[in-house]
Every structure is written in structure tokens, then in C-alpha cells.
Amino acid sequence: MRPIDGREELDLFSRLPYALNAELADDLADGRRRPEWMWVAVRGDRLLARAAWWSRPGSDTPLILDVLDMDDRAPGPDRLDIGERLLRTATAAVLPDCARPPEYSRFIPPDWRDSAMSRQVVEDRMTVLERTGARLFVERLRLEWSPTSPVPGPSRRLSFRPVRGAGELVTLMALVLDGTLDAHGRDDLTRRSAQEAAARHYEDELARYTSPRDWWRIATLPDGEPVGFVVPAHNGYNPIIAYVAVLPRHRGKGYIDDVLAEGTRILAAQGVPRIRAATDLGNVPMADAFRRARYVNFGREINMTWN
């Protein structure tokens, strides 16, 4: 059990199939991954298991554990034991002083529970993580809009203007945390105020996007009162709807459709090949809004955390 030696061992690391394999080389080149964060368990020339962390370019600290795989052809008990041993060994080396390991993320099929094979793959990895103290945090829907769908027309009820600086957006982000159905937002509120949670979300994610900030929009009533906002962006992999929300006092009036449509229109105007988005499985109103906007549920994501 060891980290890979470098790019020359990417072929070895990629012998186990997963959706992120095609991104590994670029991630290494761009500094989102490091060889010392990419661990393998090998017996002879056979890859038995692997684990890897991801972070933003230039960061010295892993942000998320997003690769954990075992050879699914191996016997069940042996497969799980090796996966657990590798994860414990790699975590001790990569995160020696970390009181709480970074969150785990896994992309899975949308119907993963309906296929015995897909279910085993997902549940085996969850079992390995649970043995190290992790628990399921949330399951999320992965969504995609295609240019084959009609581009939404302009709203007839709302006006849209650019964001007037980070302070305005953070203030609105804090307001929409009231009554949020987003699991990460609710969890943030158990540890910090809404304003602090919003500021941290902005600095840790939105402020780091290199796509144009003049894509970001505030939705207003005709008199200028803010109703909500949308943050179209590019995350380095895909064009995305990074954040879309309606303020609490304006919820229940269907404005989310107008706001999401505006974000979709902005990205569609760039000639993008797709637009990606995600929302919690339990956030039914938001999932319904994406469905009405012709976003298709093409996958899911499992998030697990350690207490």
C-alpha cells in the first residue's frame, strides 16, 4: 500500500473503472491532485484498491475524498478488508493531523438501487467508509441541460441586473439560508451564523470561479426589490448553475422558474455543450424546478462525512 510514483503510474491507478478516470491526468497537471494523495493497494502487478483526494489548484490541503475503489471481482470479505486497510493507511499518511477527514463524494447511476451490480459497488464503498467512522450525509441529484432543449425566454415578471459586488451577494446568500432544504446549508447553520456561513461559502467556492462574474444575476421586482439570484459559472470541468435561490418572503410564487431560466439563458448564449447542476434528493421543490427547466437527472452523488 503506497502512493503512486507520479504520472507514469496513472495507467496503474486507472485500471479500476470510474467516471473520474478521464480527468485524472489534467487534474495532476493543473495541481488539483498530487501523486502523494493518490494511493494504491497492489499485489504483484494487480491493482486491488485505490483511494485519492482532490483539492483546488495550489492548495496544500485535500478538500474531498472522491476516489475509493476496490477490485469488484475479488471475494467480498477480502475486498472490503483491503479497502478499509488502504483507506486507513492512506488517511494516516495524507492527513496526519486532521481531526475530521474531508467529505467523501461518489458519483453513481441515477437508478443505482435497481441494479444488483451497481448497488453492490455503491454499498461496498459505503461499508468501507462506515468501518472508518463515516456516515451518509446526503444523496444528491446530478442534473444536465442540453442545447437540444429549448432555450428559455426572458421572464415577463422579473427584471435581472448584475451583482453589485460580493457584499450584496453574501447578504442575499445569508437571507436564503432561512428555511433552506439544502443539507450542507443546514449543517453550516449548526456551527456559525447565516452571515458567516454565507461569507464562507462565497470565499470557498463562488469567489474561486474564473468564469466572468458579469454572468451573475440578481432577480428583482419592477420596483427593484430583490427576489432571488442565480450564479452561472464554469467550474473548470463544465458550465454550471453554481447557486440559484429565491428569498424566503418571495417563495411559493414560482419565481424560481424565472431565476433558473435566466441562468440557463446566460450559459446557453455562450454556446456551451451542456449545463450541469445538482441539488439534494430531499430538496423536492428545487428538483422540480430543474425538471420543469428541462434538466435531466443523469446521475446521483453520495456524500459521507466523519463526525
Give the pLDDT score at 96: 86
pLDDT digits (tens, 9 = 90+) for 179-235: 999 999 999 999 999 999 999 999 999 999 999 999 999 999 999 999 999 999 999
259 has a pLDDT exceeding 90: yes
Compute the average pLDDT of residues 230-256: 97
Residue of 76 and 67 predicted with greater confidence:
67
Angle between helix 116-131 and 76-94 (nearest 10): 50
pLDDT digits (tens, 9 = 90+) for 108-145: 999 999 999 999 999 999 999 999 999 999 999 999 99
77 has a pLDDT exceeding 90: no
Mean pLDDT, all residues of the chain? 96
pLDDT classification of 76: cutoffs 50, 70, 90: confident
CA angle 44, 50, 141 (to 5 degrees): 150
Give the pLDDT score at 171: 98
The C-alpha atoms of residue 90 and residue 170 are separated, in whole angstroms, by: 37
CA angle 16, 52, 118 (to 5 degrees): 45
Give the pLDDT score at 97: 85
Compute the average pLDDT of residues 64-93: 95
The C-alpha atoms of residue 20 and residue 169 are separated, in whole angstroms, by: 32
280 has a pLDDT exceeding 90: yes
Task: Convert 112-130 to b/e letters by CB count within 10 Å (16 or more is b).
Answer: beeeeeeeebbebbbebbe
Give the pLDDT score at 136: 98
**What pairs with residue 67 in β-bridges?**
52
The C-alpha atoms of residue 57 and residue 271 are separated, in whole angstroms, by: 26
